[in-house]
A and B are shown apart, each in its own frame.
Chain A
Amino acid sequence: MSRGAPVVEVLRAGLLSSVQDRGRFGWRHLGIVQSGALDALALELGNRLVGNAPTAAAIEITLGPARFRFTGATRVALTGGLFAAKLDDRPFSSGWSIPVPAGAVLSLPAASAGMRGYLCVSGGVAVPRVLGSRSTDLAAGFGGWQGRALRDGDALPLGAPAWAAGIHAPAFGVRLPENACGSCPQTAEAEPLTVRVMPGPEYGALPRATRRRWWTQTWRLSADSNRMGYRLTGAELDRGGQASLPSHAVVPGTIQVPPDGRPIILMNDAQTTGGYPRIGVVIAADLWRLAQLRLKAPVRFVPVTVAAAWAACWAERHYLRRIDAALRLAGLPGEPHDDSNG
């Protein structure tokens, strides 16, 4: 066992695990992508549960299975997808915060619901900040841990916990946000997930039949979806001869229609500019739900106004504030605070 600062050892990285925080902002004009946790709400929740600042970095685990060992005593929380995880032999589920003795091993089976889990550790994953963020830019190969996805045998440094006294507090759990991935469709046969979308700048220029089809069709998440973009399968959309547009900035959640008529929803690792018509933009408050949708699972889209988009955003903030209040009642930090590495 290491005698230095505690680390988390990656015993089994699984399909795709990487270090992510909220993302990299302020550099898009230089072509540098946002990156960051796809389920940002899960990251914020998990950080609160272990006494971290909301900006601390965690390990994003895609689907699982995965296994980690902690060299020092710490505290961890697992959020996002639903995992029947075990800490050594003790069951430990999503939404729980639990003290961890030195040398303990956390094993995650494949998620029983959802697509991505967040392993948050007291003190956060203390990889260096690059351009203001600890997120991994997988395409450009920088940030996070050596600019790449985690591999078996990696040992990630942990920051000093801001909430040192709380590390040994008893385990507790919180209610997961409404419509969390427990209610997400898990199979191709399930009821589709409903995602709220604001019509995009080029929406009105598309043929009426295309617009109708966009909202009425049940789409499926294609198997070649990833952190850059979610491809949708369904009857192709006719762009009505609309040519490419002058290049413009694109943001995560943007639904583009390329010439082949198969819509793509841009996710956090998407490039900063594009030129395809923007049929819509998934509202910020629903991006995390979409991030938990399983490959091949059905999804449909409903139009909303900006007022509804913001109301949904406020509802999220309200959920987190209620969590904060509950944590404070329990004598835990329960609100964002500065930490030495956050």
Chain B
Amino acid sequence: MRCYRYGDHAVVLAAQGPPSLACQQRLWTLAERVRTWPQVEDVVPGMNNLTLICRPLRMAFDELTHRLRAAWMDAEAEALSGREVDIPVDYGGEHGPDLEEVARLTGLTAGEVVSRHAGGDYVVFFLGFLPGFAYLGGLDPRLHVPRRATPRLSVPAGSVGIGGAQTGIYPLAAPGGWQLIGRTCEVLFDPTRTPPTLLAPGDRVRFRIASVRP
């Protein structure tokens, strides 16, 4: 683990070694703890790291990193498990226009792609890219497929896709290059709701098959 300064009002704690669920769990626990520190404005987990964004002129770097290191050591014991979130997905058809392409790329049938995707246990490692967009760990390696050669100009909100070793759900209509295999009617982001996002770091996600269309 190392701590380093990032600009004039942020500090990063970066864990060493390859990313793992255990390490990420420690980071979520740490995030919850440091969020209440008076000089801290925002706490953002990334992959294997945690960034503290501080109020201007409130960050005494040495003192902050000292406390952060101590809190990191302390966070080892307990691990945040998160909520379990069930996401119904309509696979294939107009909701998943790339399902056949994913089947072709993986050498599986469309049905096998769906059952492997819905059979996985996923964990929200962190959020970014768009409000409510979760970086999920746990995609079956057999389902790793390259992104589309030509990104779509607009992917509908709720689209479930695969890009490389990642699977995820588009919370908003946005341009995107992932292979779309389905869509959920769950609302991933609603700024008027508390909390505003369906998923948070540490949540465990299961995709449930609502329907499968060719």
Binding site for B on A (CB under 8 A): 25-33, 130-131, 137, 139-143, 198, 200-201, 246-249, 251, 253-254, 271-274, 278, 281-284, 306, 309-310, 313-314, 317
B172 touches A141 (CB 8 A): yes
In the docked arrangement, what's the CA distance between A283 and B8, Å? 6
Of all chain A residues, the one with the shortest Cβ separation from B50 is A249
B132 touches A31 (CB 8 A): yes
B171 cross-chain contacts in A, Cβ below 8 A: 31
The 3 closest A-B pairs by CB, nearest first: A273-B128, A281-B7, A249-B51
Contact of B7 among A141, A198, A314 (CB under 8 A): A198
Binding site for A on B (CB under 8 A): 4-10, 12, 14, 19, 31, 41-49, 51, 53, 56-57, 61, 126-133, 135, 171-172, 189, 191-192, 195-197, 200-201
In the docked arrangement, what's the CA distance between A84 and B41, Å? 38
The smallest C-beta distance from A274 to any residue of chain B, in angstroms, reads 8
In the docked arrangement, what's the CA distance between A272 and B132, Å? 11
B51 cross-chain contacts in A, Cβ below 8 A: 248-249, 251
A247 cross-chain contacts in B, Cβ below 8 A: 46-47, 126, 128, 135
Contact of B196 among A25, A131, A251 (CB under 8 A): A131
Of all chain B residues, the one with the shortest Cβ separation from A308 is B8
A30 touches B8 (CB 8 A): no
The smallest C-beta distance from A200 to any residue of chain B, in angstroms, reads 7
A306 touches B131 (CB 8 A): no
Contact of B127 among A29, A253, A254 (CB under 8 A): A29
What's the count of A-B pairs with C-beta under 8 Å?
137
B131 touches A309 (CB 8 A): no
In the docked arrangement, what's the CA distance between A314 and B9, Å? 14
The smallest C-beta distance from B171 to any residue of chain A, in angstroms, reads 8
A131 touches B191 (CB 8 A): yes
A32 touches B131 (CB 8 A): yes
A246 touches B48 (CB 8 A): yes
Query: Can you list 16 A-B pairs, Cβ within 8 angstroms, ordered by A?
Result: A29-B44, A30-B195, A32-B196, A130-B191, A140-B131, A198-B8, A246-B19, A248-B47, A249-B42, A249-B46, A271-B129, A271-B130, A273-B44, A273-B126, A284-B8, A284-B9
B192 cross-chain contacts in A, Cβ below 8 A: 130
B61 cross-chain contacts in A, Cβ below 8 A: 306
With A31-B131, A247-B135 already in contact, 10 other A-B pairs whose C-beta atoms are closer than 8 Å: A29-B127, A130-B191, A139-B130, A201-B4, A247-B128, A271-B130, A272-B44, A273-B44, A281-B7, A309-B7
A130 cross-chain contacts in B, Cβ below 8 A: 191-192
A306 touches B8 (CB 8 A): yes
Contact of A254 among B7, B129, B131, B197 (CB under 8 A): B7
The smallest C-beta distance from A259 to any residue of chain B, in angstroms, reads 15
Known: A28-B44, A29-B127. A201 touches B53 (CB 8 A): no
In the docked arrangement, what's the CA distance between A140 and B157, Å? 11
Contact of A313 among B8, B19, B128, B196 (CB under 8 A): B8
Known: A28-B42, A31-B197. A278 touches B6 (CB 8 A): yes
In the docked arrangement, what's the CA distance between A30 and B49, Å? 15
Contact of B128 among A31, A282, A314, A317 (CB under 8 A): A31
In the docked arrangement, what's the CA distance between A139 and B189, Å? 13
A310 cross-chain contacts in B, Cβ below 8 A: 8, 57
A30 cross-chain contacts in B, Cβ below 8 A: 127, 131-132, 195-197, 200
In the docked arrangement, what's the CA distance between A28 and B45, Å? 9
